[in-house]
């Protein structure tokens, strides 16, 4: 039996509440069952000091791969045999894939986001605004740029983190990028096609937390995306829907990064509807 190991640490940071049932595990195993794969997706906590042993164990037991999350996304790289292009640019791995005898680090967060985005708009030649400069913003910024966006604006509270992301996008991904200090309600400029919340604002339990954004500057036809998976109908998602925008919720990104992971590990293209339904059941959406 093939296995997939999920290094669980600080899931509260990802989903906003302690989870007895890891939503990603429920979603992945729903896909495995649906496609008749006799596989498991296990949730296993690995302490930072045990990371090398954890990866060695996955190798020794012939795991097809594993996801890893905070705080292992950067540290895991030292224990792998190579990196995919975007993981290498980002310097962060959330998905490890066994290819032959090698363990290769990939990053599916941004790829999952772009897969959702492409269902609504072709990013080629588009201008995007991203709120946030943390791990999610980094992954999304790199992939949106690789997908052909021509200009990215990073809007972030802390200037130092914002500058780091702008330097990465400008120098390594070679996309025109600028930084806006986020100290008041942001007005989306004319000509912006895509607006993305990649901060943790709105995550359970702070569901009423407001993104400092002038919602009147969201225009009909614009694509507005939120990375928050719990709850999926965030305040931003509701405001953008009311303004006639095309909206992507955080479940879309979560499902799509899962689809890419299952594809890397098994070669099959899993059913998105089955995976989304499993998540909606967990979140009561
Ligand atoms: P990080 O901690 O790395 O970054 C958080 C970002 O949010 C920072 O830019 C931080 O700004 C900003 N931020 C947080 N609170 C505030 C606030 N009150 N006002 C202004 N800015 C704020 O987290 P991640 O990037 O890893 O994760 C962000 C969110 O993305 C999480 O909620 C997670 O659930 C979600 N996510 C969703 C995924 C999905 O598949 N749907 C996948 C991965 C993540 P500053 O730099 O100033 O501190």
| Residue 20 reports pLDDT greater than 80 | no
pLDDT tens-place string over residues 114-150 = 999 999 999 999 999 999 999 899 999 999 999 999 9
Q: Are 251 and 225 contacting, i.e. CB atoms less than 8 angstroms apart?
A: no
Distance 60 CA to ligand 1 centre (A): 35
**Identical fold, 2-107+252-283 and 111-248:** yes
Beta bridge partners of residue 127, listed in sequence order? 151
The length of the chain, given as a count of residues: 285
Beta bridge partners of residue 223, listed in sequence order? 194, 246
pLDDT at 5: 47
| Average pLDDT of the chain to the nearest whole number | 91
* In the chain, where the domains are located: 2-107+252-283, 111-248
pLDDT tens-place string over residues 249-264 = 999 999 999 999 999 9
pLDDT tens-place string over residues 86-104 = 899 999 999 999 999 999 9
pLDDT at 263: 97
| Residue 13 reports pLDDT greater than 90 | no
CATH number of 2-107+252-283: 3.40.50.10860
CA nearest to 236, candidates 279, 274, 201: 201
| Separation between Cα atoms, residue 103 and residue 55, nearest integer Å | 9
Q: Which atom of ligand 1 is nearest to the CA of 252?
A: 41
Question: Three-state secondary structure along the chain?
Answer: CCEEEEECCCHHHHHCCCCCCCHHHHHHHHHHHHCCCCCEEEEECCCHHHHHHHHHHHHHCCCCEEEECCCCCCHHHHHCCEECHHHHHHCCCCEEEEECCEEEEECCHHHHHHHHHHCCCCCCCCEEEEECCCHHHHHHHHHHHHCCCCEEEEEECCHHHHHHHHHHHHHHCCCEEEEEECCCCECCCCCCCEEEECCCCCCCCCCCCCCCECHHHCCCCCEEEECCCCCCCCHHHHHHHHCCCEEECHHHHHHHHHHHHHHHHHCCCCCHHHHHHHHHHHHCC
Distance 104 CA to ligand 1 centre (A): 26
- Of 18-22, 28-32, 72-76, 101-105, the least confident: 18-22
| Residue 3 reports pLDDT greater than 50 | no
Nearest protein Cα to ligand 1, atom 17: 201
The residues lining ligand 1, judged by C-beta closer than 6 Å to any ligand atom, are 14, 109, 112, 132-137, 156-158, 161, 199-201, 203, 227-229, 250, 253-254, 257
| Residue 2 reports pLDDT greater than 80 | no
Q: For Cα atoms 269, 271, 276, give the angle at the middle one, nearest 5 degrees.
A: 130
* Residue 233 annotated among the catalytic residues of the structure: no
Nearest protein Cα to ligand 1, atom 33: 14
pTM summary value? 0.91
Q: Quick one: 111-248 is in which CATH superfamily?
A: NAD(P)-binding Rossmann-like Domain (3.40.50.720)
| Residue 11 reports pLDDT greater than 80 | no
pLDDT at 45: 87
Q: How many CB atoms lie within 10 A of CB 18?
A: 7
Q: Which atom of ligand 1 is nearest to the CA of 203?
A: 32
What band does 14 get if pLDDT is binned at 50, 70 and 90?
Answer: low
- Of 11-15, 76-80, 183-187, 209-213, the least confident: 11-15
Q: Which atom of ligand 1 is nearest to the CA of 109?
A: 42
Q: Ligand 1, from 157, 180, 249, 279: best to mutate by most atoms within 8 Å of Cβ? A: 157
């Amino acid at each position: 039996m093939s296995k997939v190991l999920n290094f669980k640490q600080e899931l509260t940071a990802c989903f906003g509440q302690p989870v007895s049932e890891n939503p990603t595990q429920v979603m992945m195993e729903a896909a495995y069952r649906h496609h008749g794969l006799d596989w498991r997706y296990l949730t296993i906590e690995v302490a930072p000091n045990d990371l090398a042993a954890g990866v060695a164990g996955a190798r020794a037991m012939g795991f097809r791969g594993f996801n890893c999350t905070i705080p292992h996304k950067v540290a895991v790289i030292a224990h792998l045999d190579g990196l995919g292009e975007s993981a290498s640019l980002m310097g962060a791995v959330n998905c490890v894939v066994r290819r032959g005898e090698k363990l290769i680090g990939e990053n599916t967060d941004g790829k999952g986001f772009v897969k959702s985005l492409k269902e609504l708009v072709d990013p080629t030649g588009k201008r995007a605004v991203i709120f946030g400069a943390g791990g999610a913003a980094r992954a999304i910024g790199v992939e949106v740029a690789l997908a052909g966006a021509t200009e990215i604006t990073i809007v972030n509270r802390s200037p130092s983190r914002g500058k780091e992301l702008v330097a990465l996008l400008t120098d390594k991904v070679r996309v025109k990028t600028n930084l806006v200090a986020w100290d008041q309600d942001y007005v989306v400029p004319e000509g912006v096609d895509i607006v993305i919340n990649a901060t943790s604002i709105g995550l359970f339990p702070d569901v009423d937390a407001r993104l400092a954004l002038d919602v009147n500057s969201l225009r009909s036809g614009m694509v507005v995306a939120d990375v928050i998976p719990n709850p999926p109908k965030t305040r931003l998602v509701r405001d953008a829907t009311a303004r006639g925008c095309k909206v992507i919720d955080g479940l879309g990104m979560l499902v799509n990064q899962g689809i890419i992971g299952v594809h890397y590990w098994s070669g099959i293209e899993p059913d998105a509807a089955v995976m989304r339904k499993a998540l909606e059941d967990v979140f009561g959406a």
